[in-house]
Amino acid sequence: MRLFTFGLSHKTAPIQVRERLAIPSHELPNAMDRLREIKGLSEVVLLATCNRFEIYGVSDSPDSLIESLTPFFESHLGISPSELGPHLYRYSEADTVLHVMRVASSLDSQIVGESQILGQVKEAFRISRERGGAGKLLSKLLQRAIEAGKRVRTETGIARIPVSVSTAAVELAEKIFGSLEGRSALVVGVGEMSETTLKHLVSAGISEVFVTNRTLVRASSLAALYGGRALPFESLEESLEIPDIVVTSTAATEPVITGEMVARAMMARRRRPLFLIDIAVPRDVAPEVSEQEDVYLYNIDDLQTIAERNYRSRMEEAVVAEKKVLECQQDFLKWHRSLASVPLITRLEERGQAIVKDEIDKLTFKLGLDKEAQAVAGQALRAVMKRVLHMQIATVKRISEEEDSQCTLELIEEAIVEFSRDIRPATSEAESGSSMENVDLRLASVVSLKATTRK
């Protein structure tokens, strides 16, 4: 059974394609049920966001899954694989492990370091478990990926460095005022940028919101989203007396806030600091405003410079994050490879139990042991066998975790099969107990051969 990833993302598909694959959150359980019906999928997790549509699965023939997934894309999503073909990618085994961990750590996101994707991965995992999609292998992978995502967020600064104009504005506001708790903000104009900036300010602690716009209805709509109050545009100068922070983004061709307006407002404010964020082009705030005492003015270029500087810093943190994700990938792959040793260890334990039974039979025959004595002897022999097998099992586990372990494990299995033929009634006292020594010698020779081959 092999791990695979099958899907597309913002890196391979334009929004016109991605939006056709959008699945409302309430329909995700049904989509998972449809995937569970596809033959050849032993385990499956579906991650569907605005920027990616990916299926993580376990199958014995992942290369042929595009044909198996045809009904899902055609009937459930209304889009044919031929349309998706140029945008799809497939990863297998180690590449899938690394990809899933990079996704959960936001290293594969459109905005590296964004926080939303980790929650989306958790939700996809939860739905898959509830619908019977995630089994032992995918559950382990998703758990490790979520751990990797948390580790990246806590051990690097990738998520703490703002990289957008809006978050740069909040960063500046916090430098001027310290905490934004209890502060107020006035938004002049209701463009997309001003709304986004207001959203970040509120998230940072702004408690009182005012909005003004030439169209009062639009101002009221935006103010209502944050429990704020709309103010008439004609009273803009008087409105400047109220807030700590002013965000401007209008379509005006000339400044709507002049030096004289701010000077009069500052007198009414009794020199209380005023922070102006002008993200309009052309500018909404006259440049000479910045010359006034206790007034802090930043325009779109200032914010863009800060955002670009922060982006470079975030990319440096991303390099550190990549190393941590690689460590998590190697830990998972080591665990995954160790699964190959389970049948072998079971056979070792079975052979050990067979030897114990054989030795008890010999003792019973020679000494005429009753049931109580047999039980005591059996307990002692099983304890000895456990100690003898401990080293062999540890050796098998250690070998199985290595990348080139398959041939070595096959040699060990041959040794176990061979020594199992030695388990027969002993013809002399010297032969009694020699079977386990034989497997010890064979295991030692296999390990020695492996070491010699490496050299």
Residues known to be catalytic: 50
Tell me how far apart the alpha carbons of residues 435 and 221 are, in angstroms, rounded to a whole number.
Answer: 84
298 contacts 168 by C-beta, under 8 angstroms: no
210 contacts 235 by C-beta, under 8 angstroms: no
C-beta neighbour count of 329 within 10 angstroms: 23
Tell me how far apart the alpha carbons of residues 88 and 252 are, in angstroms, rounded to a whole number.
Answer: 45
For the stretch 421-427, contacts whose Cβ atoms lie closer than 8 Å and that sit 24 or more positions apart, written own/partner, are: 423/351, 423/354, 423/355, 423/358, 424/358, 425/358, 425/361, 425/362, 426/362
Residues 6+ apart with CB under 8 A from 373: 367
Task: Give the distance between the most distant pair of CA atoms in the chain.
Answer: 114
In DSSP terms, 245 is beta-bridged to 185, 275
User: Torsion-angle region of residue 179: left (phi > 0), alpha (psi -120 to 50) or beta?
Assistant: beta
CA 184 to chain centre: 36
